[in-house]
């Protein structure tokens, strides 16, 4: 084994990373262990940033494309910066643990830590709030577009006194605004994001940011147009970053598992994202339940089906064009998302509390708990800016301040580090269940007269079948196992069949015995090469000699 002099870099859980910092870190990972890590990209963002791809596996045990593959993606939503950290934590830990774990000998990990580098850069540098992206190419009249207008480098909230304002200052914590009640006394406030209003006519009819895109509604399965599904985009994979991801997935038939990172209230999410479990194969539901439970045990994040991940006073949600349904129905895989948590989780407020049905007074008290907790921290991020008067060139007197969305939308980074350890452990456990297609029991018998009988067994000694799920049995993307039989020079095939399409192979105990007859001249040493293309179970070849 080569002696690599560059140390594996430490991932700092001190601040959220800019694009340049992410680029530097993934470059350092690849430079530290070129035998394990390759840095490329799956494409380029709208604004020209690379969508980084880390390919992580032990090069000595085979090419990446010949191994079962596990895909991780993060930061599809702009302010959900924790996903980048969690993905990078897994990338680094796979390298660190390689000496005591054989997972990289068997599996390749494809890690895209930041699908949305443009949106993330907006969030990390300004703390402005968008979902995935907004369309600013054709600015609309009476629409406010976020911008730092007071020169402090941040995009915060503007509050303005207004007779119809729906908010008042919280008498128990003047930093907060609470809902106006019938007996509230002024002043009353309306709020808008910090920015300017394009072509404003002076009325109160002000829209914010025009059209908004949610890339987790841009996957192909059950995609629906706007406004039926908000944020869906123009058509499935209409966003170039999402199209790059789709093309990558479909050009890698070895992918058997996918994990996404988000930052809602902490949860382990499993399919479905529309309908109910009864719409899925019963056996597949049992497997997903088992894996989700393992994820919850490692992370402490409670398990929810996507359709059940909502406030308790709401009906079940149906998210069209969503990752979970795409991963299961179109890819045939067991896919999961970790909602890594929000700042309230770090403050000790459990997800079950956050999602519970609450009266307005209870919601207000929850925010006071958050602020009280923050006040008690000795080391803390700046999550809040005091309200500061500002003369807006259009609106007149406003105050700018409030929460920094980039911190409100995620856990504290020290807290996130602990969660990332758990998500890494789940990833390794899920990945260890990969299909593993091999060629075994290979031998050649001399029958006589220059004729040889060649036998081989094509087996799957991995946990999952090559179709991974019951849903995957009939999906074209999950390629059935096929065998190619290539003759050595001078050797002739006597059997009526050389190549075989043997279909999917079940896990652990399933195999297919194959047999060929060939004739070979006396001077020939090698008879043939047997190649198996195992789809999610990887590829393998063996040479057969006399």
Q: Could you report the per-residue pLDDT of 229-243, keeping only the tens digit for each?
A: 999 999 999 999 999
Average pLDDT for 193-215? 94
Proportion of the chain above pLDDT 90, given as a percent: 96
By residue count, the chain amounts to 546
Q: Could you report the per-residue pLDDT of 320-345, keeping only the tens digit for each?
A: 999 999 999 999 999 999 999 999 99
**pLDDT category, 374, cuts 50, 70, 90?**
very high
Q: Could you report the per-residue pLDDT of 412-455, keeping only the tens digit for each?
A: 999 999 999 999 999 999 999 999 999 999 999 999 999 999 99
- Evaluate if residue 474 carries a pLDDT over 60: yes
pTM, to two decimals? 0.95
Contact 307, 315 (CB under 8 A): no
Query: Mean pLDDT across the chain, nearest whole number?
Result: 96
Proportion of the chain above pLDDT 70, given as a percent: 99
Instruction: Give Cα 453 to chain centroid, integer Å.
Output: 49
The per-residue pLDDT for 1 is 53
What is the CATH number assigned to the segment(s) 19-123+213-342+411-431?
A: 3.40.630.10
CA distance 228 to 206: 23
Q: Could you report the per-residue pLDDT of 526-545, keeping only the tens digit for each?
A: 999 999 999 999 999 999 99
209 closest CA partner among 317, 136, 313, 261: 136
Average pLDDT for 125-139? 91
CA distance 230 to 240: 18
CA distance 259 to 277: 20
DSSP letter (8 states) at residue 240? H
The per-residue pLDDT for 2 is 65
What is the CATH number assigned to the segment(s) 437-545?
A: 2.60.40.290
Average pLDDT for 512-523? 96
Say which residues have a Cβ less than 8 Å from residue 162's Cβ, sequence separation at least 6.
188, 189, 190, 204
Neighbouring CB atoms inside 10 A of 298's CB total 20
CA distance 464 to 332: 12
The structural domains of the chain, with segments of one domain joined by +, span: 19-123+213-342+411-431, 139-210+374-408, 437-545
Strands (E), 281-363: 303-305, 334-339
Contact 39, 93 (CB under 8 A): no
The per-residue pLDDT for 123 is 96
The per-residue pLDDT for 367 is 97
The per-residue pLDDT for 54 is 99
CA distance 370 to 295: 27
Q: Could you report the per-residue pLDDT of 66-89, keeping only the tens digit for each?
A: 999 999 999 999 999 999 999 999
Tokens for 61, please give them.
């045990």
Tokens for 310, please give them.
């909502």
The torsion of the CA quartet 235, 240, 245, 246, rounded to 10 degrees, works out to 30
Contact 470, 283 (CB under 8 A): yes
Tokens 């999410």 found at: 269
CA distance 89 to 86: 5
CA distance 533 to 493: 21
| Cα atoms in the Cβ-side hemisphere of radius 13 Å centred on 88 | 31
- Evaluate if residue 346 carries a pLDDT over 60: yes
230 closest CA partner among 147, 118, 320, 325: 320
């Amino acid at each position: 084994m080569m002696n690599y002099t560059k140390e594996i870099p430490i991932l700092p859980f001190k601040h959220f990373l800019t694009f340049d910092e992410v680029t530097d870190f993934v470059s350092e990972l690849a430079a530290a262990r070129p035998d394990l890590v390759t840095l490329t990209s799956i494409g380029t963002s709208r604004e020209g940033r690379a969508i980084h791809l880390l390919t992580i596996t032990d090069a000595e045990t085979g090419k990446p494309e010949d191994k079962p593959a596990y895909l991780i993606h993060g930061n599809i939503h702009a302010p959900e910066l924790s996903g980048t950290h969690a993905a990078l934590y897994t990338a680094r830990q796979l390298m660190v643990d390689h000496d005591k774990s054989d997972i990289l000998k068997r599996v390749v990990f494809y890690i895209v830590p930041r699908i949305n580098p443009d949106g993330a850069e907006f969030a990390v540098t300004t703390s402005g709030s968008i979902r995935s992206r907004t369309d600013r190419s054709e600015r609309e009249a009476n629409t406010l577009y976020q911008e730092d207008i007071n020169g402090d480098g941040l995009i915060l909230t503007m509050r303005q006194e207004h007779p119809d304002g729906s908010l008042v200052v919280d008498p128990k914590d003047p930093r907060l605004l609470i809902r106006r009640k019938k007996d509230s006394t002024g002043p009353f406030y309306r709020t808008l994001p910090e920015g300017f209003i394009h072509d404003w006519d002076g009325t109160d009819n002000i829209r914010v940011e025009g059209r908004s895109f949610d890339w987790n509604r841009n996957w192909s399965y059950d995609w629906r147009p706007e406004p039926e599904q908000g944020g869906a985009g123009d058509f499935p994979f209409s966003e170039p970053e999402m199209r790059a991801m789709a093309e990558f997935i479909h050009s890698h038939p070895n992918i058997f598992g996918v994990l996404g990172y988000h930052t809602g209230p902490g949860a382990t999410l499993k399919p479905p994202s529309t309908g109910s479990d009864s719409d899925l194969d019963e056996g597949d539901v049992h497997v997903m339940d088992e894996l989700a439970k393992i994820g919850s045990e490692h992370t402490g994040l409670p398990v929810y089906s996507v359709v059940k991940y909502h406030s308790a006073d709401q009906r079940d949600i149906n998210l069209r064009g969503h990752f979970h349904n795409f991963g299961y129905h179109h890819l045939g895989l067991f896919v999961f998302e970790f909602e890594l948590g929000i700042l309230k989780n770090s403050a000790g407020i459990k997800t079950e509390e956050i999602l519970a049905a609450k009266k307005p007074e209870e919601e207000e008290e929850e925010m006071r708990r958050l602020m009280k907790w923050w006040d008690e921290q000795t080391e803390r991020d700046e999550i809040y800016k005091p309200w500061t008067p500002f003369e807006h060139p259009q609106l007149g007197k406003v105050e700018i301040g409030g929460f920094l969305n980039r911190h409100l939308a995620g856990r504290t980074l020290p807290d996130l580090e602990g969660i990332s350890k758990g998500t890494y452990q789940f990833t390794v456990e899920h990945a260890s269940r990969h299909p593993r297609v091999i060629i075994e029991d290979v031998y050649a018998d001399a029958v006589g007269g220059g004729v040889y009988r060649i036998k081989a067994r094509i087996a799957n000694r991995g946990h999952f079948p090559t179709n991974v799920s019951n849903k995957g049995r009939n999906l074209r993307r999950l390629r059935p196992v096929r065998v190619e039989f290539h003759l050595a020079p001078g050797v002739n095939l006597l059997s009526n069949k050389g190549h075989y399409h043997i279909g999917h192979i079940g896990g652990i105990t399933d195999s297919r015995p194959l047999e060929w007859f060939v004739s070979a001249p006396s001077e020939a040493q090698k008879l043939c090469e047997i190649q198996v293309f195992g789809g999610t179970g990887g590829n393998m070849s063996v040479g057969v000699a006399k």
